Amino acid sequence: MPTSSQPADPAVTYPDVAARGSLAAALRAEAERCLGHGGIPSVASEHQPLLHATVESLLPHREPLRISASRHARRWSIRGTEPFQGMPLVDGDTADLAQLAAAARAWHDGTALDGIRRVAPFVHLTGRIETPDPDPALMAESEWQGLRREADELEYAWRDTHRALIETAYAEPALRALYPFTSHWALRFSVTTRPNLTVVGPHLAAGSDGLYGVGRGIASSDLGRFATAREAVAVAVRHLPSGLGPVTLGG
């Protein structure tokens, strides 16, 4: 019996996939069986065809959907990203090959993100906005929406304080105009998008003690610790450099 340190033979865990010769071929066959047509342009991994495949999209602003199979249990995961920064728009995992084929078909066809979730409920939407062009302002807004969704879905004890921090910062126009990102759960700001961030101003962090720290170093709260997110955000805004222009592309 395989253990967590000894993955099972993929041909044993996925006999139906092995019978087709690859995960890509199994997806095409499942789409034909369940959806009434094939045509999913799935490509098998050269080195691990039973475990990995990609599915192209008709939309140029979608990267190929990446599909991977677990080595330890019969389960597949997906990750669909945008091309400008490589940030995920959808992810999720399922043990249902038919659901997997439905998600892959919808990604390929250019179905709206919420529509993909409707046809394949296992799909998780990251909250990011699909951007057809590399518009830095829209990319910044997309990251804000991703952070807001992430904060809302947290299961940690300090979820409420972290969510309050994200929402309060987003409500502040001076911060909302910047490109947000997190590092070690600290909220930071940039005047350029990924991949080359240009960090400005202090960071904000919600502590497990319910206090909000503001600091100029990632592990520092040298600008103070405050009882409310509103106080912390106000201090961060006061320490922003003057004359910041609109967010620009970072590479």
pLDDT in tens, 76-123: 999 999 999 999 999 999 999 999 999 999 999 999 999 999 999 999
Quote the CA–CA distance of 26 and 18 in Å, as a whole number: 8
User: Tokens standing for 183?
Assistant: 């590092």
Phi, psi of 89 (to 5 degrees): -95, -35
Cross-strand pairs, 180: 189
* Res. 72 pLDDT band, cuts 50 70 90: very high
User: Tokens standing for 43?
Assistant: 């490509």
pTM score above 0.85: yes
Is the pLDDT confidence value at 1 over 50?
A: no
Whether the CB-CB separation of 49 and 22 falls below 8 Å is answered with yes
Quote the CA–CA distance of 115 and 112 in Å, as a whole number: 5
Q: Which of 164, 94, 82, 172 is nearest to 127 (CA)?
A: 82
The tally of CA atoms less than 13 A away on the side-chain side of residue 40 is 34
Output the pLDDT for position 37: 64
DSSP-derived secondary structure letter, 155: -
Contacting residues for 118 by C-beta, under 8 A, at least 6 apart: none
Whether the CB-CB separation of 87 and 80 falls below 8 Å is answered with no
3-class DSSP assignment, residue 172: coil
Q: What is the residue type of 160?
A: D
Model pLDDT for residues 128-137, shown as the tens digit of each residue: 999 999 999 9
Quote the CA–CA distance of 123 and 207 in Å, as a whole number: 31
Entry field: residues in the chain: 251
